[in-house]
């Protein structure tokens, strides 16, 4: 095991605190699979309060720690713990006794270093920060050189505490951690490279990179894994899977979403969220899911994208025992805001009979579109789980968002061959939330094993949702994340 590591998590616009531990544990699991190596405890969370941006952890090895930092999107950086104390006086006393250790760690003669101060649970005033730098500076070895631009080593000091509102600006510090930076995470580069703002083709429900990379990590996406998204839309999840070296396959009921020919609804969205000027104008490829893969140089990672409704997936991907896909990572329609649809098989067979009659009579077959009917979320999820149970390889994962609503009793789908690993809530705004459900296939299904029918619970959920009273002041009425993410500078400053 490595020494105590301080994981410093990013403060996300999406409020994803509940997913931090899942992401790190899942990346450690990918490492175990890739190495074919498996002590049980690859990483241990010693302490990770939900309201703090730092967590103390122990990792099995330095190589695993580096691997976690190279993939985690919720992580800001990882540091090695040097001193931990409950007050500033104690911290300064401990530091003064560790001069030679600090010199060896990067503050020695002529060594360039930089010191960062981070507050979790409160914020320092500029004056407090200035004084802290002064006091800390006096306690550190005087032989090193402070270099803010090109430091050789960076040190982070994390303060945890709160300001009591009753006693004025009184600050109570609970813990101070003096650390040395080991690795910055991949977060910044992933978010910059895969930003929706520069992607050639996006839709109303494209997942921002922070969420799509989180799904890819939790879905155990790794090099050469075969990954399927049966609601692929514009391909956000597959872009992230492709980035990690997976082979990607996608399907969607709506060919226009994949192909990029705007529907009237999308035209409206494009009016509301006009493409920012920063879009890469040099890109000449198609504005479609294929264009997105080309744009990120992932053509070789994509197998195909098909027009296919999810309830037909099970018939198309008929697999022998042992399964086909390493992971299914997907973002189904939520059914609350936009209703899901499926192919109307009854109408379809009537239509084909009609066509056959016309053809036998020697007339031309009329061009008609495929008929669709409403598809409840309960039906959709049960089809999805049945498909996952038959098509996933043993121990493969299915990861998908399940729609929920804040303040309404929820239900969630289950299948006897799929074990629920994680269920965490992501609040979208004051009305809507969604749970990320992560299942692992634990056995092959026999004919009798099917997902539970949750239609009654879904109906009850929808009725409660409609009856529910909303708070009178509703500061998050906007589709907050999307509105903030796409806000023009004028909107943001206003
Ligand atoms: C939440 S969006 C997924 C967005 C996607 N992650 C992206 O990056 O664009 C849900 C998608 O499911 C598709 N869909 C709706 N009903 C479907 C069905 N029965 N079978 C397959 N896809 C369906 C919609 O066309 C839509 O593109």
Residue 255's domain comprises 194-467
The CATH number assigned to the domain holding 44 equals: 3.30.2130.30
Clarify whether residues 198 and 129 are in a common domain: no
pLDDT of residue 437: 96
The answer to whether residue 490 scores a pLDDT higher than 50 is no
Specify the pLDDT at position 412: 87
378 torsion bin: left (phi>0), alpha (psi -120 to 50), beta (else):
alpha
- Token pair recorded at residue 178: 């003096």
> 162 and 259: one domain?
no
pLDDT score of 261 more than 90: no
Best CA proximity match to 158, nearest among 111, 116, 110: 116
Q: Please name which of 83, 215, 103 lies closest in space to residue 157, comparing C-alpha atoms.
A: 83
Name the DSSP letter for residue 470. Answer: P
Distance of CA 194 to the CA centre of its chain: 13
For residues 182 and 219, state if they share a domain: no
**Residue 304 Cα to ligand 1 middle (Å):** 16
pLDDT for res 348? 66
**For residue 297, what pLDDT is reported?**
94
Nearest-angstrom CA–CA distance, 61 and 53: 23
Per-residue pLDDT tens for 385-394? 999 999 999 9
Residue 230 Cα to ligand 1 midpoint, Å, equals 8
Beta bridge partners of 6: 56, 79
Higher pLDDT, 219 or 482: 219
pLDDT digits (tens, 9 = 90+) for 284-340: 677 889 999 999 999 999 888 999 888 888 888 877 777 899 999 999 987 655 556
- Could you tell me the two tokens for 387? 């498909």
**pLDDT, tens only, 132-169:** 999 998 888 888 899 999 999 999 999 988 877 665 56
**Which residues have C-beta atoms less than 6 Å from ligand 1?**
203, 205-207, 230-231, 233-237, 252-254, 257, 309-310, 331-333, 340-342, 375
Q: Is residue 487 part of a domain?
A: no
pLDDT of residue 36: 84
Site of tokens 């239509």? 351
**CATH classification of the domain holding 398:** 3.40.50.150
Report yes or no on 489 lying in a domain. no
- Kindly state whether residues 328 and 402 are assigned to the same domain: yes
pLDDT at position 59: 92
Asked if 175 and 237 sit in the same domain, the reply is no
For residue 229, which atom of ligand 1 is closest to its CA? 6
pLDDT in tens, 413-457: 999 999 999 999 998 877 788 999 999 999 998 877 888 887 888
Our mutation pick for probing the ligand 1 site, out of 229, 231, 334, 400, counting the most ligand atoms within 8 A of Cβ, is: 231
The protein residue with its alpha carbon nearest to ligand 1, atom 15, reads: 340
For the segment 228-249, the average pLDDT, to the nearest whole number, is: 96
Q: How far is the CA of 310 from the centre of ligand 1 (A)?
A: 9
Instruction: Tally the domains of the chain.
Output: 2
Same domain, 73 and 164: yes
Please give the share of the chain, as a percent, with pLDDT higher than 90: 48
The predicted-structure confidence for 54-82, as pLDDT tens digits, reads as follows: 999 999 899 999 999 999 999 999 999 99
| Triad 381, 387, 391: Cα angle to 5° | 145
Same domain, 114 and 220: no
The number of helices, as runs of H, and strands, as runs of E, in the chain is 17, 17
The answer to whether 382 and 413 have CB atoms below 8 angstroms apart is yes
């Amino acid at each position: 095991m490595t020494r105590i590591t301080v994981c410093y998590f990013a403060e996300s616009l999406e409020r994803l605190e509940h997913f931090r531990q899942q992401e790190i544990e899942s990346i450690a699991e990918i490492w175990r699979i890739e190495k074919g190596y498996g002590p049980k405890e690859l990483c241990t969370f010693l302490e990770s309060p939900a309201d703090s941006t730092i967590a103390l952890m122990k990792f099995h090895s330095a190589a695993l720690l580096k691997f976690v930092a190279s993939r985690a999107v919720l992580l800001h950086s990882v540091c090695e713990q040097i001193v931990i104390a409950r007050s500033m006086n104690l911290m300064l006393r401990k530091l003064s006794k560790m001069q030679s250790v600090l010199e060896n760690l990067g503050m020695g003669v002529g060594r360039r270093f930089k010191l960062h101060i981070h507050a979790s649970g409160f914020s320092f005033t500029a004056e407090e920060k200035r004084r802290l730098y002064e006091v800390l500076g006096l306690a550190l070895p005087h032989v090193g050189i402070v270099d803010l631009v090109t430091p050789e080593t960076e040190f982070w000091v994390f303060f945890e505490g709160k300001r009591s509102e009753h006693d004025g600006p009184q600050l109570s510090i609970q813990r101070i951690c003096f650390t040395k930076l080991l690795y910055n995470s991949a977060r910044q580069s992933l978010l910059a490279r895969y930003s929706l703002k520069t992607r050639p083709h996006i839709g109303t429900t494209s997942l921002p990179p922070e969420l799509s990379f989180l799904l890819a990590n939790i879905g155990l996406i790794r090099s050469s894994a075969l990954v399927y998204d049966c609601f692929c839309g514009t391909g956000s999840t597959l872009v992230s899977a492709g980035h990690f070296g997976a082979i990607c396959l996608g399907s969607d009921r709506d060919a226009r979403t994949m192909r990029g020919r705007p529907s009237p609804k999308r035209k409206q969205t494009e009016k509301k969220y006009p493409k920012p000027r920063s879009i890469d104008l040099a890109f000449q490829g198609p504005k479609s899911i294929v264009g997105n893969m080309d744009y990120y140089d992932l053509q070789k990672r994509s197998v195909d994208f098909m027009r296919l409704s999810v309830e037909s997936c099970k018939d198309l991907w008929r697999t022998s025992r042992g399964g086909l896909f390493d992971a299914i990572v997907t973002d189904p329609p939520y059914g609350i805001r936009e209703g899901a649809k499926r192919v109307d098989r009854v109408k379809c067979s009537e239509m084909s009979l009609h066509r056959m009659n016309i053809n036998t009579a020697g007339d031309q077959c009329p061009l008609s579109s495929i008929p669709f009917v409403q598809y409840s979320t309960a039906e959709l999820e049960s089809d999805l789980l049945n498909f996952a149970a038959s098509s996933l390889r043993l121990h493969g994962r299915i990861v998908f968002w399940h729609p929920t609503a804040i303040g309404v009793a929820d239900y969630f789908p289950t299948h006897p061959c799929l074990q629920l690993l994680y269920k965490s809530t992501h609040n979208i705004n004051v009305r809507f939330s969604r749970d990320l459900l992560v299942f692992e296939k634990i056995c092959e299904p026999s004919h009798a094993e099917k997902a539970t029918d949750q239609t009654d619970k879904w109906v009850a959920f929808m009725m409660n949702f409609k009856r529910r009273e909303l708070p009178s002041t509703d500061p998050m009425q906007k589709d907050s994340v999307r509105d903030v993410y796409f806000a023009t500078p004028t909107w943001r400053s206003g």
